[in-house]
Amino acid sequence: MAKPQITISDVASHAGVSKGLVSFALNGRNGVAPQTRRRILSVAAELGWRPSVTARSLSNRTSLALGFVLRRNPDVLAADPFFAAFMSGVESVLAPRGWALVLSMVSDAESELQTYRRLCADHRVDGVFLSDLRHDDARIELLRAIGAPAVTLGYPEERGIFPAVDLDDTLGVTQMVRLLVSQGHRRIAHVAGTQEMLHGSRRRDAFCSAMAAAGLQPDMIIGADFSAAAGAQATKALLDQRIRPTAIVYANDPMAIAGLGVLQHRGIRVPADMSITGFDGIDLGNYVHPALTTVGSDAHLWGQSAAETLLALITNHQAPDLELPPAELMLRSSTAPPAPAGNR
């Protein structure tokens, strides 16, 4: 990190021009003779000049970095495949352009807001990603007030403030219910995710609608929080009811896998005695037995699109909403027609 750093002045003197011109050439601004520009650029390349990000930031009030702050229980996060894939998508657009990703992990709402505030006030980032949208999400108002560019993953309650990159997850729930209904299930339960989160309540609502559409009562819904522990708990509660469901639609895969563990523990065969479905399409779901039927979304693409949208917003001061292909049903082996009534 020492190294006799070569600067714009070196390039300027070697090329026999002023620093200003070098800067113009570098940034592709017009007002530089094509020939001069070429000369400058080649000198810069020869010298191996890397313009200082810091110096540029100071003049520009720009940082060439994007921010991501994650408020999550580490256990839930660890089991969640979303972020690794999402971030590799983000990186795939940032790296080639020389941008960086600043990541923060926080545990509560207060430090989450604090972190966004700090990141922006310190000009550490030029824009931020907003994930895990919640009802009455305080982050939206904060960032609007600060005037920070942001992109939301999915639509927030109030649209139009920031561009959204959306990937529909309700269709998957609907398809799941239809699948189960078509297999003959009538008593279908739902183990819901955190209801403060938009995607938690959205999946639950989609479940209710789909049930209603099939003429069924969505009366077996248990609240959980996306964690494996809660998934197991909810499953036990469901099994202890007087009337058991014949199928369970979980709001994410880790809860489904934990539920599967409970079912196996109680000697309930999946899918013969009970059908289950997950949500997210995590890799491990492919390898449990039976392989988990789930809904998979392309998190890598999501990250890529969100990064592109945010970059566009930063440079153009506006960017359109983007609708990604909806999450797809991944039919595997964890559902089957319900056992004949006598078998229960």
Interface with DNA in residues 12-71 (CB under 7 A): 16-24, 26-27, 29-34, 36, 49-52, 54-56, 58-60
The C-alpha angle 215, 257, 302, rounded to 5 degrees, equals 80
The C-alpha angle 172, 263, 296, rounded to 5 degrees, equals 20
By beta-carbon proximity to DNA, the closer residue of 40 and 249 is 40
Based on the shown chain and the rule CB under 8 A, indicate whether residue 119 belongs to the binding site for a copy of itself.
Answer: yes
Interface with a copy of itself by CB under 8 A: which range of 58-66, 167-175, 187-195, 215-223?
58-66
Residue 89, token pair as written in the block: 């998508």
Closest CA to 209 of 234, 177, 186, 179: 177
Give the x/- contact pattern for a copy of itself in 168-207, rule: CB under 8 A: ----------------------------------------
Based on the shown chain and the rule CB under 8 A, indicate whether residue 118 belongs to the binding site for a copy of itself.
Answer: yes
CA distances (Å), origin 169, targets 81, 166, 233, 295, 330? 16, 9, 24, 8, 13
By beta-carbon proximity to a copy of itself, the closer residue of 218 and 231 is 231
Which residue type is seen at 152? T
Q: What is the DSSP string of 189-206?
A: EEEE--TTBHHHHHHHHH
Interface with DNA by CB under 7 A: which range of 2-10, 96-104, 132-140, 313-321?
2-10
Residue 6 and residue 49 in contact, taking contact as beta carbons nearer than 8 Å: yes
Q: What, of DNA, a copy of itself, none, does residue 100 touch, CB below 5 to 8 Å by kind?
A: a copy of itself
By beta-carbon proximity to DNA, the closer residue of 65 and 188 is 65
Counting residues that bind DNA (by CB under 7 A) gives: 32
| Spatial separation of the C-alpha atoms in residues 324 and 333, rounded to whole Å | 27
Residue 150 and residue 222 in contact, taking contact as beta carbons nearer than 8 Å: no
Minimum Å distance from CB 180 to a copy of itself? Answer: 22
The single residue among 58, 138, 161, 272 that binds a copy of itself, judged by CB under 8 A, is 58
Minimum Å distance from CB 148 to DNA? Answer: 17
Counting residues that bind a copy of itself (by CB under 8 A) gives: 75
Based on the shown chain and the rule CB under 8 A, indicate whether residue 27 belongs to the binding site for a copy of itself.
Answer: no
Q: Position of tokens 């505030």?
A: 117
β-bridge partners, 167: 324
